Amino acid sequence: MIYPPAKIWNSILKTVDRSHIQILKEKTVHCSIFCIFAGSKLISMKKIFLFVIFSISALYIFAQIPANYYTAAQNKKGYALRVSLYNIIKNHTVISYNGLWEAYQQTDLKENGKIWDMYSDRPGQNPPYEYTYGSDQCGNVGSNEGVCYNREHSIPKSWFNDLSPMVSDLMHIVPTDGKVNGMRSNYPYGDVASPSWTSQNGSKLGTSAVSGYTGTVFEPIDEYKGDFARIYFYMSVCYMDKNLGVSSYPSMFVDGTGNLEPWALAMLIQWSNQDPVSQKEINRNNAAYQLQGNRNPFVDYPELVGKIYGSDSVNVFLPNAIDEYSNVNYISFSNPSNEEIQLFYSGDFERYNEVSFCLYDIQGKLLLQEKLTDKPNTIALHQIPNGIYVVKLVYPQYNKVYKLVIQ
């Protein structure tokens, strides 16, 4: 059975009382449907029927990882997992540099049809300017923002000597305002201590505040830091056999390798944790897969960051064990959650007298653990920031693992 992605399902749940929600699967001969309960009251499916049909239809187009795509990486961890992912994504269709212009029509348009420029966009607000696909593209630009958009190499091409296929890899080349692109130049990304220049959407250029690097850096706004972090993780895997850190330029990669500098890795892990995967990234990943034939694993499975680079690298990658929805063995819990997780029990839960609820960050660090023997209704999350986490339900004979979104 295929479930709607978290963002879509979250939109559905806005129509019901989210304080008491259980998601149950009712299997029929021909299909599976969702029943939504608010407390003990069944919400009429007629009220959300059209939206559910639209959402599930959109799922088939926009949100499905191909079956068995990550099978070769299963049961791997640490460096072995990184190598397995490299072998999965390295052989892809090489799009020409000019072909990127056309690709953006499928990968980088907003709902209003305008170009999705992460250097000018203001999520939830009106952007200072927007661009029309095609007619507003350009190569050289003037001295002001808002003139035209061009192609931004998130990993500057000077870092790898303009070599193919990196120079036209759609995954890391995004449409951005030409002026801001020029101001970013080939400086590393980083947190800015003292800005010398600030764009109209709040992106900054200035001296580094990142421990381990003292040069000039460019800082995108917080809402897109995770996007760029996951692009860098993709590049460090897909091109782990390439030189992404040419020594004549300041780079975020170790010279002669595809390995991130320690300061850059630590910062990007933080950015990835603080800015979880968005529907924009999911849609772009799927569109890029249709054009280029490979995927960004860190968008599909953000927990891979911890399994390759963090403390969770002691545990193997089991993609089929990570579910978006959380209703198993007579326990269900609210997902997404905010200040607390709401727990629901049913059926023969009493026979599982030793069950623990464990919450980990995506690097594998245990954040909280609580026994469910007395069937608590809630678990407080007041000290845990928004992001993507991993829940492990520890039963006497086995464990079950789930994604949890805290928002």
Average pLDDT over residues 129-147: 90
pLDDT of residue 111: 93
C-alpha to C-alpha distance for 49 and 129, rounded to whole angstroms = 37
Instruction: Report pLDDT digits (tens) over 190-239.
Output: 999 999 999 999 999 999 999 999 999 999 999 999 999 999 999 999 99
Cis preceding linkage at 128, omega within 30: no
Angle at 68 between CA 62 and CA 71, to 5 degrees: 130
Does residue 19 register a pLDDT over 60? no
CA 27 to chain centre: 31
Question: Which pLDDT score is estimated for 346?
Answer: 65
Segment 250-278, tens digit of pLDDT: 999 999 999 999 999 999 999 998 898 99
Rounded to two decimals, the pTM is: 0.70
pLDDT for 73 equals: 95
Comparing 51 with 151, which gets the higher pLDDT? 151
Write down the domain spans for the chain: 1-64, 72-314, 323-407
Q: Which helix (H) or strand (E) holds 197?
A: strand 192-198
- Assign domain 323-407 to its CATH superfamily: Macroglobulin (MG2) domain (2.60.40.1930)
Q: What is the pLDDT at residue 404?
A: 81
Q: What pLDDT sits at residue 330?
A: 58
Higher-confidence residue: 377 or 99?
A: 99
DSSP per residue, 230-276: HHHHHHHHHTTTS----TTS--SB-TTSSPBPHHHHHHHHHHHHHS-
Torsions phi, psi for 112 (to 5 deg): -85, 5
* pLDDT digit string, tens, across residues 37-75: 333 333 333 233 333 333 333 333 334 789 899 999 999
- Please name the residues in contact with 43: beta carbons below 8 A apart, sequence gap of 6 or more: 15, 16, 36, 37
pLDDT score of 365 more than 90: no
pLDDT exceeds 50 at position 121: yes
